[in-house]
Amino acid sequence: DTSGTPWGHFGDPPGTPRESFGDTSGTPWGRSGGLELLRALLSRTLGLGGDRAEPVLDELSLAGVGRFIKSDRCKNIVCMVGAGISTSAGIPDFRSPGTGLYSNLQSYNLPYPEAIFEIGFFKKHPEPFFALARELYPGQFKPTVCHYFMRLLQDKGLLLRCYTQNIDTLERVAGLDPELLVEAHGTFFTSHCLRASCRQSYSLAWMRERIFSSLVPKCEKCQGLVKPDIVFFGENLPSRFFALLESTLLIIMGTSLQVQPFASLISRVPTNTPRLLINKEKTGQSDPLMSLMGFGGMDFDSDKAYRDVAWLGDCDSGCLALAELLGWKEELEELVQREHAAIDAKGGDRDGGIPQKPQGDEDKDGGSPKKSLGDEGKAQSEPKKGLGSKAKAEKDPKKPQGGDKDKAENDPEKSRGGQ
Ligand code: OAD
């Protein structure tokens, strides 16, 4: 199991510390490991002590999810998002073949693509990361339809929390309340000196200036290396990430669900919470052995499927389709137009128009990964290889915009017998 290390994809080089031994968050065994396994096995095979979840959706389809949201039973929606929600804003994702960042890093001369986000590598060789930051720095911070759909959920009092892996700050620009936002992989919004004795904070504007002057950012107080507060592989996630989720609906958008512990969120919602995936491909499905043992990857298609719905296509279209089912489509389109016009009026503010914290201020919003080195903190890790490629293999190219049709073959009656 190399899932706890950034080396996961490439195998451990000799002498690499095996972080994964202490950190099982990247595996389905979780913290209580063996006990959980035993419980799941007993509940599966003997019907003992299992939580037999009653299906909540009247149909495993986008329309079924829409009806559930409109009912008074759906009060707390949790969103889990990744790079795919920002690609329509012109920011590449990581793993899409050809366009994803990891297939375009040849010029940086890295030992392996993920090294660019690996803390040990960064401390020795910060240049590639800052060169990439310069290359990818958004010309304009313009959130997508998908971001504004989450804003609508918030405005309507339905959003319990948004977990994002993205570091582009677009959730903030779209007006999501920082209290509801968990920037699980940190953010570019603030930066800190890496020296433990210093930890001086710097603003996005300060960092942007350094990035564009091609200087490796150095602390003005101690000359230590300054790094944006994004969570590198080998760093801990904010402790807020680990709070329990009392959600009634999970909406997962634009993520390959390949990086732990983020991906494990899908298993941390109650067993009867419906999970809607809006993505170009099916992701998060566990391998058959794990499913047999009751470990909850997504199950869109089996006879036992009872709560998971995949809407395959681009996130903006998926959100518009859902908004239409909810009777919010016009409102969403107007919101996008209004907000984009306001951003344009500011002339493409490169800091996204978000009020900057004064330099030297302590980070109070929980976005700083270093502030969260509590017991609960888990290092971000690359997962086991198989899942993503498997999910890709299972993608049905005939159904790219399928919406409800994607699940038409699923008989909701049949699925009631599951779990
Ligand atoms: P990935 O690049 O791994 O996955 C993006 C997913 O979104 C893929 O499944 C794409 O098919 C899908 N996708 C892309 N564009 C889309 C669109 N317009 N509409 C719908 N789906 C779309 O990105 P993440 O899952 O976010 O860590 O990656 C997770 C982490 O891996 C990142 O946070 C990053 C990286 O290493 C860091 O710490 C920097």
Torsion of CA 251, 254, 257, 261, to 10 degrees: -70
pLDDT for the residue numbered 132: 87
Distance 86 CA to ligand 1 centre (A): 9
Give the distance, in angstroms, between the CA of residue 181 and the centroid of all CA atoms in the same chain: 12
What does the mean pLDDT of the chain come to?
A: 75
Strand stretches in 43-156, DSSP E? 77-81
Considering the domain boundaries, does residue 402 fall inside one? Answer: no
Is the minimum distance from the CB of 163 to ligand 1 under 6 angstroms?
no
The phi, psi pair for 85, rounded to 5°, reads: -80, -10
Atom 15 of ligand 1 has which residue's CA nearest to it? 84
Is position 410 annotated in a ligand binding site? no
- Mean pLDDT confidence for 45-70: 81
51 C-alpha to ligand 1 centroid (Å): 32
CA triple 380-88-363, angle to 5 deg: 45
At 257 the pLDDT is 94
Give me the sign of the Cα torsion angle 237, 240, 246, 249.
Answer: negative
Ligand 1 and 61: CB distance under 6 A: no
Give the number of domains in the chain. 1
Residue 185 in contact with ligand 1 by CB distance below 6 A: yes
Residue 192 has pLDDT above 60, yes or no: yes
Residues catalogued as catalytic: 185
The structure tokens listed for 62 are 């986008």
Q: Is 363 among the domain residues?
A: no
Q: Which residues pair with 161 in a beta bridge?
A: 78
What integer pLDDT is reported at residue 175 of this predicted model?
A: 96
Q: Is residue 409 part of a domain?
A: no
> For residues 185 and 380, what is the distance between their CA atoms, to the nearest angstrom?
8
Amino acid identity for residue 250 in this structure: L
Report CA(255)–ligand 1 centroid distance (Å). 4
Rounded-to-10 torsion of CA 250, 254, 260, 261: -30
Q: What is the pLDDT of residue 225?
A: 97
- Is 227 among the domain residues? yes
Q: Please, which residues bridge with residue 279 across strands?
A: 312
Residue 270: CATH number of its domain:
3.40.50.1220
In a domain, 392, yes or no: no
pTM: 0.76
Q: What sign results for the dihedral spanned by CA atoms 118, 122, 123, 124?
A: positive
φ, ψ of residue 370 in degrees (nearest 5): -70, -25
- Concatenate the DSSP letters of all residues of 251-307 into one string: EEES----SBTGGGGGGSS-TT--EEEEESS---BPPHHHHHTT---B-SSSTT--S
Pocket lining: 248 vs ligand 1, CB cutoff 6 Å: no
122 lines ligand 1 (CB under 6 A): no
Q: Is 149 among the annotated ligand-binding positions?
A: no
Condensed to tens digits (0 to 9), the pLDDT of residues 123-171 reads: 999 999 998 888 777 667 799 999 999 999 999 999 999 999 998 889 9
Please report the atom of ligand 1 found closest to the CA of residue 262: 29
Q: What is the pLDDT of residues 381-399, one digit of tens each?
A: 654 332 223 233 333 333 3
What is the rounded distance in angstroms from the CA atom of residue 168 to the CA atom of residue 86?
Answer: 8
Residue 219's domain comprises 32-40+59-351
> Are residues 415 and 303 in contact, defined by beta-carbon separation less than 8 angstroms?
yes
Contacts for 179-184 with beta carbons within 8 Å, 24 or more apart?
180/154, 182/238, 182/240, 182/241, 182/366, 183/238, 183/366, 183/367, 184/231, 184/237, 184/238, 184/241, 184/262
Q: Does the pLDDT at position 48 exceed 60?
A: no
Average pLDDT estimate for 13-37: 35
- Residue 198 in any domain: the answer is yes
**In this structure, what token pair is assigned to residue 49?**
């002590």
Q: What's the full length of the chain, in residues?
A: 419
